[in-house]
Amino acid sequence: MVVFTVGVGGAKSHPNSHAVRDHYLLGVVGLVVAALAMFAAYSLLVSVANLVPLLSTTFLAFVGIVLWVFVWMALDVVYGRYTGDRYVE
């Protein structure tokens, strides 16, 4: 489990605070990538979503959130393997 601590005064910060910051930064990058992918494939997604008209916006939101989480996880795993960072010691 990763815990983010903020130092007050002269207290030292958590030793893995850079890893936590990178994790959140990759989340933002994943969100941007997912939004661009949704924008690029919007017409295809709408045509698939129109198969069930009452759930079309729910489908679009679900696909967007799942895509974001998967891109975030993939970026985090690739970055962790590239840098050799370990969250759990």
- Sequence ranges of the domains in the chain: 17-83
- Rg of the chain (C-alpha set): 18
The DSSP secondary-structure symbol of 3 reads: -
The count of other CB atoms within 10 Å of the CB of residue 34 is 20
User: What is the spatial distance between Cα 64 and Cα 37, in angstroms, rounded to a whole number?
Assistant: 9
Q: 81: exposed, middle or buried (C-beta count within 10 Å: 0-12, 13-18, 19+)?
A: exposed
**pLDDT tens-digit map of 22-62:** 888 999 999 999 999 999 999 999 999 888 888 888 989 99
Please state the pTM of the whole predicted model.
Answer: 0.72
User: What is the spatial distance between Cα 58 and Cα 62, in angstroms, rounded to a whole number?
Assistant: 6
